[in-house]
Copies of this chain bind each other. A is one copy, B any other.
Amino acid sequence: MTTAPRALPSAVPAPAAPTAGAAVRLRPVPLGAARTTGGFWAERQRANRSRAVRTGYERLGSAGNLQNLRIAAGTATGEVRGPVFMDSDVHKWLEAAAWEYGREPSEELLGRIREVTALVAAAQAPDGYLDSVVQVRDGGERYRDLPWSHEHYCAGHLFQAAVAQSRCTGETALLDVAVRLADHLVATFGPGGREEVDGHPIVEMGLVELYRETGERRYLDLARWFVDARGRGTTARGGDPTYFSDRVPVREATTAEGHAVRAVYLAAGAADVAAEDGDAELLAALVRQWEHVVATKTHVTGGLGSRWDQERFGDEYELTPDRAYAETCAAIGSVQWAQRMLLATGEARYGDLVERTLYNAFLPGVSLGGDEYFYVNPLQVRSGAHADEERSAVHGRRGWFDCACCPPNVMRTLSSLDAYLATSDGGGVQLHQFTACRVGADLPGGRVELAVSTDYPWDGTVRVRVEESAAGEWELAVRVPGWARGATATAAGRRLTPEPGEHLRVRRAWAVGEELVLVLPLDVRVVEADPRVDAVRGCVAVERGPLVYCAEQADVSAPVAVDDLRVDVATLRGARAEHRPGLLGGVTVLRTTARRSARHDGGAPLYRPAADAPAADAEGEGFGIELVPYHAWANRGAGAMRVWLPRA
């Protein structure tokens, strides 16, 4: 066994690393070739490594996940604990730990990885089956309740973890377990076998990754079979097929519906299948679904899911801020889906959504400290909101949950975040996300190495310096976000005209030391929603760069509840950006003024006669408020907060 990362031609599985035969426009750069070097995301990664991955191991111990594996292995006795998908938390942690090891080897981490991997391996049944809860509970009957048992879901996470471990540590202990389990699945399900699919997708993504790692086509075939088996109501077994994305076949669907995480995981897996098979019909269906979700079912933060009830997407335009579900896992799944669409199509709009979602829907799910989590990410919390259910944000972030899907999902996402930064297409390098980093790629003319320096998202200047260059011409492409009207750029000193929503492409014989400098205007942007979004009628949201801002009670200078703030669009647009190194780990706040609702009259009845013309709803003098990035909210207590602010 070796403890050094293998140098692999393809890269990390989240996002996908399509095989040589796949029909994709862009490919991930090799493992380790894109690395954050400092700044915003590197800080988050540091906290993730030093706090979250460390405490995650402890929480897998105290919550019973590791003990469940021991019980299944027969090395411990007792009842298994927790929900049916307890193993998946272990697999996600193993995946996160593997990426972390890949980023920076550590004997301590490797010891933990080996220890947990051994527990997983010991629990596996002789024929390859593995799910500790099912193995122990209810007499060990397998696939008895596949709509709810998450047996394939756990397998999918195991496959992803195994691929990460193989690539990052060079050790194959977990990959051996994964291959045995995958072969068991191939023998049991699909053509000639059981014609059922798991209630919760992800095995599709996992199987494609396993195919990419092992070259065994049967795994890809089973993934495609699972994608195509869906949409015939078989999963729901007479229940509501919508919930399981089982109402309409993936190739025919026009939207994502039902349980949000299930829906986007399925779409991401289908995108993997479409890419590997060059399946244009499937890809076109996914483009259509993605466009519909972005146009009608996406919160301004990028968050997905409007209903607490069964964690669902709602109807079109059903995007209520206070009851937004916007599960952290749904944001992660959305990033995975969009990144696969970016690879398949090369289109910048997918990178735009990855950016919006990472900053404003994924990142709010974890505390600045790195190891406390939101499951649900509302866009509004009222003063005096009551903390009831465990998942309610009103409690503040939590160290773990009874249903702990989100915490280790956050860990593996932060530890594999480098994979979202850049791609290569043979003819050049594409930079998609902006943070201080180094990016390398092997082009036909040789090795290219780039150094990116930026204080993004606080500053809009992104400087890409060629540190090593290939022979002849090659193209350096940089995503220009759709919001970046007025962006400017120079390449080797020459002025260019970036087009928002496209990649800025500069093809030349780049010399070492030359720079592409992109300047994104970080003006304060005030946005409103389509009027069909009833829940935010008369309200605006504030953005700057890639960040959505919010008002928290702590930043209101007057004795006025956040609920009663009234804003003026022109005033907001003139808000002063001020970087505050001491606040919330260092954030740029927006200083502006607001007024108080004129109709905040406690004694009036809840419903009252309406005047002919709507009265202006503000009284008194303006007072100072500061808006903070939404992702940083609830790090000073989880009090009243609003993303959408009513106009005066």
A residues near B (Cβ < 8 Å) are: 240, 242-243, 257-258, 294-296, 298, 300, 307-310, 312, 314-318, 320-323, 380, 382, 384-386, 388-390, 525-541, 563-564, 568-570, 597, 599-600, 604-614, 617, 644, 646-647
Q: Which residue of chain B has the shortest Cβ distance to A306 in the bound complex?
A: B323
Q: Which of A312, A317, A386 is packed against the most chain B CB atoms within 10 Å?
A: A386
How often does this chain occur in the complex, in copies? 2
Q: Which residue of chain B has the shortest Cβ distance to A297 in the bound complex?
A: B606
Assess the A527–B607 pair: CB atoms within 8 A: yes
Assess the B240–A388 pair: CB atoms within 8 A: yes
Assess the A323–B296 pair: CB atoms within 8 A: no
Assess the A527–B610 pair: CB atoms within 8 A: yes
- Cα(A611)–Cα(B647), bound, Å: 11
- Cα(A309)–Cα(B314), bound, Å: 13
Q: Which of A390, A531, A647 is packed against the most chain B CB atoms within 10 Å?
A: A531
- Residues of chain B within 8 A (CB-CB) of A606 are 294-296, 298, 529-530, 533
Q: A315-B386, A382-B315 are in contact. Are A609 and B525 (CB under 8 A)?
A: yes
Q: Which of A323, A533, A534, A609 is packed against the most chain B CB atoms within 10 Å?
A: A534
Q: Which residue of chain B has the shortest Cβ distance to A535 in the bound complex?
A: B535
- Shortest beta-carbon distance from A402 to chain B in Å: 11
Q: Which residue of chain B has the shortest Cβ distance to A388 in the bound complex?
A: B242
Assess the A563–B532 pair: CB atoms within 8 A: yes
- Residues of chain B within 8 A (CB-CB) of A315 are 322, 382, 384-386
- Cα(A599)–Cα(B532), bound, Å: 9
- Cα(A541)–Cα(B541), bound, Å: 26
Question: A-B pairs with the 10 shortest C-beta distances?
Answer: A308-B309, A528-B610, A538-B538, A537-B538, A242-B388, A309-B309, A527-B607, A540-B610, A570-B612, A526-B610
- Shortest beta-carbon distance from A514 to chain B in Å: 35
- Residues of chain B within 8 A (CB-CB) of A569 are 610-613
- Cα(A427)–Cα(B455), bound, Å: 81
- Shortest beta-carbon distance from A27 to chain B in Å: 29
Assess the B539–A607 pair: CB atoms within 8 A: no
Interchain residue pairs with CB less than 8 A apart (21): A240-B388, A240-B390, A242-B388, A258-B388, A300-B607, A307-B323, A309-B389, A316-B384, A318-B322, A321-B534, A526-B609, A527-B608, A527-B610, A528-B610, A529-B607, A530-B604, A530-B608, A531-B597, A534-B644, A537-B646, A568-B612
Assess the A646–B531 pair: CB atoms within 8 A: yes
- Residues of chain B within 8 A (CB-CB) of A612 are 568-570
- Shortest beta-carbon distance from A492 to chain B in Å: 34
Q: A526-B610, A538-B614, A570-B612 are in contact. Are A320 and B317 (CB under 8 A)?
A: no
- Cα(A611)–Cα(B530), bound, Å: 13
Q: Which residue of chain B has the shortest Cβ distance to A240 in the bound complex?
A: B388
Assess the B537–A539 pair: CB atoms within 8 A: yes
Q: Which residue of chain B has the shortest Cβ distance to A381 in the bound complex?
A: B315
Given A320-B320, A534-B535, 6 more contacts at CB 8 Å? Answer: A310-B389, A314-B323, A315-B385, A527-B608, A530-B607, A531-B599
- Shortest beta-carbon distance from A539 to chain B in Å: 7
- Residues of chain B within 8 A (CB-CB) of A318 are 322-323, 382
Q: A526-B609, A611-B569 are in contact. Are A317 and B538 (CB under 8 A)?
A: no
Assess the B605–A295 pair: CB atoms within 8 A: yes
- Residues of chain B within 8 A (CB-CB) of A258 are 388
- Cα(A257)–Cα(B384), bound, Å: 13
- Shortest beta-carbon distance from A544 to chain B in Å: 13
Assess the A317–B382 pair: CB atoms within 8 A: yes
Q: Which of A388, A536, A647 is packed against the most chain B CB atoms within 10 Å?
A: A388
Assess the A243–B647 pair: CB atoms within 8 A: no
Assess the A608–B537 pair: CB atoms within 8 A: no
Q: Which residue of chain B has the shortest Cβ distance to A607 in the bound complex?
A: B527
**Cross-chain contact of A323 among B295, B316, B323, B390 (Cβ < 8 A):** B323
- Residues of chain B within 8 A (CB-CB) of A541 are 607
- Cα(A316)–Cα(B322), bound, Å: 11
- Cα(A102)–Cα(B310), bound, Å: 44
- Shortest beta-carbon distance from A134 to chain B in Å: 23
- Shortest beta-carbon distance from A72 to chain B in Å: 27
**Cross-chain contact of A386 among B257, B308, B540, B604 (Cβ < 8 A):** B257
Q: Which of A300, A322, A529 is packed against the most chain B CB atoms within 10 Å?
A: A322
- Shortest beta-carbon distance from A62 to chain B in Å: 17
- Residues of chain B within 8 A (CB-CB) of A538 are 537-538, 614
- Residues of chain B within 8 A (CB-CB) of A323 are 307, 314, 318, 320, 323
- Residues of chain B within 8 A (CB-CB) of A527 are 607-610
- Residues of chain B within 8 A (CB-CB) of A322 are 314-315, 318, 320, 534
Assess the A531–B609 pair: CB atoms within 8 A: no
- Residues of chain B within 8 A (CB-CB) of A605 are 295, 530
- Cα(A307)–Cα(B308), bound, Å: 8
- Residues of chain B within 8 A (CB-CB) of A317 are 382, 563
